[in-house]
Amino acid sequence: MQQIIFFDIDGTLFDHDKRLPRSTKQAIQSLKEKGHEVAIATGRAPFMFADLREELDIQTFVSYNGQYVVLKGEVIYTNPLNKKALQSLTDAAVLNNHPIVYMDHEDMKANVPHHHYIVESIDTLKIEKFPTHNPNYFKEREIYQSLLFCQEKQEEFYEKEFKPFDFIRWHPVSVDVIPAGGSKAKGIEKITEKLGVGKESIFAFGDGLNDVDMLKTIDNSIAMGNGHVLAKKAAKYITKSVDEDGILHGLRMVGLLD
């Protein structure tokens, strides 16, 4: 029976140096040879993992934590941030000296010319593209996710004040800002409904806070050994760490590979 397997990127497909382990690449190739569908479910923007999609020959993905969904190269679902609420969030963030980056499917722009929080966090992604300055970018485009840069716990103020958004921490100085109720799980649902795939045939691997809803919702969920404690708690299975051939081990654990 054909199954569909969704993989997070950072800490799941990629190790801590943002490299794809050889065993992971071989495991994904083996899945395809067996006739399974392989997809990505990430908080990253589409332009942040184009090389990975090409390397693994993957045309189906959930990006921006579920807000921009592509099935076999075709955009099937988008869920942009509310512009009026985003303006209010920006106003509050400016008062608190917390920069914001606005992201659509093609690019990302910051509301300040430079800030060390932006440099510090974006550098960890090891990508070539870096946000340039355009404080009006969100007024001109559909924004699917923003990055709010603040210290841990400081997002609690925004969580109380801005109910149209969910705030998910991905770095000590940055949180993802997505539409309230949006998640990778919702994005995955859009794909599997289109394909007519039953829940028993859906698998998902993840490690972070933005994977918790996905791991909790999908029956066949696997958390990485290096994952956040809440991701492990949400998952049905826990595999080894990404740098201990965790993907290959997890696929064998759930019977998808020998």
User: Domains in the chain, ordered, with CATH?
Assistant: 4-78+182-253 (3.40.50.1000), 83-179 (3.30.1240.10)
Whether 8 is catalytic = yes
Residue 144 pLDDT > 80, yes or no?
A: yes
Question: Is pLDDT at 246 greater than 90 in this prediction?
Answer: yes
* 255 CB-contact burial (10 Å; exposed 0-12 / middle 13-18 / buried 19+): exposed
pLDDT tens figures, 170-181 = 999 999 999 999
Mean pLDDT of the chain: 97
Share of the chain above pLDDT 90, in %: 98
Q: State pTM to two decimals.
A: 0.94
> What three-state secondary structure class fits 100?
strand
Q: Taking 90 as the threshold, does the pLDDT of residue 208 lie above it?
A: yes
How much is the pLDDT for 175?
A: 97
Per-residue pLDDT for 1 more than 90?
no
**Per-residue pLDDT, 237:** 98
CA 168 to chain centre: 11
What tens digit of pLDDT does each residue of 10-37 get? 999 999 999 999 999 999 999 999 999 9
In the three-class reduction of DSSP (H, G, I as helix; E, B as strand; rest coil), residue 17 is classed as coil
